Structure 1
Amino acid sequence: MQQIEIYTSAYCGYCRAAKRLLDDKGVSYSEIDVGLQPQLRQQMMARAHGRHTVPQIFIGETHVGGCDELYALEREGKLDPLLAG
């Protein structure tokens, strides 16, 4: 199983939706709340090629993007293989 990291903020509905899908898959992930820690947002932006919105999701070395991209992978049948590595 790949390591999963998700950058979030507290009141983000898209973050909750992305975490719900990952929870439904039964996978564990590390959540990094950037809401109150500007240095973590800068780290996220560097890893996400300048993207500044949350969530930003990383599965292994792959930058998935945000919630919409995560759900698109699920619809296309590509999320499970990515999670498995």
Structure 2
Amino acid sequence: MDADDKLTSDILAALACMPFERQAEAMRDSVSTGLKHLSTQRLCEIRRRIELEMDETNPAVRTTMELIDGQLALREIAGGAFWR
């Protein structure tokens, strides 16, 4: 298991211990900052993997997809500008 998979597994395990209704908020808080530091290619890979492997009706999964989509949209709007 590479470092990214280990981190993802640890985050998901921690979220699974939380009440279902708090998972989306916790996911948003824990993931939003990190997304800014990932390459666009890596974001797209993660998005595809989530789409294939996870249930998008889960609020935590849906929130993560929205964060990734928002990050990708901001990058497209910003072009090559450094805005982080």
* TM-score (structure 1 length as normaliser): 0.30
Q: Which has a greater percent of strand?
A: 1
Larger Rg: 2
Q: Which has a greater percent of helix?
A: 2
